[in-house]
Structure 1
Amino acid sequence: MTREVSRTRLNMLRSYAAHDHRDNFQKAEMV
């Protein structure tokens, strides 16, 4: 169970980080 939870958390963090990076990149391009 703990392994599955940690794995899902890692995936969520990765997805969030990717979204943040994309937003930052788009903002930088706009400016």
Structure 2
Amino acid sequence: MEIQLLFLVMLHCLIGEILLFHPRLNMAGKLI
């Protein structure tokens, strides 16, 4: 389960970086 938790954290960080570099997706990010 620790591996899955780490994966979710990395995925969350990756999504955050994508939203940071693509302001156009910020509207979609706010819905999450």
Q: TM-score, normalised by structure 2?
A: 0.70
Which 4+ residue blocks in structure 1 deviate beyond 6 angstroms?
Answer: none
Structure 1 residue 9, shift from structure 2 partner? 0.1
Which one-letter code corresponds to 1:22 in the other structure?
A: L
Identity of aligned residues (%): 17
Q: Which has the larger radius of gyration?
A: 1
The CA RMSD measured in Å over matched residues stands at: 0.9
Task: Give the unaligned 5+ runs of structure 1.
Answer: none
Q: Which has the higher contact order (CA 8 A, sep 6+)?
A: 2
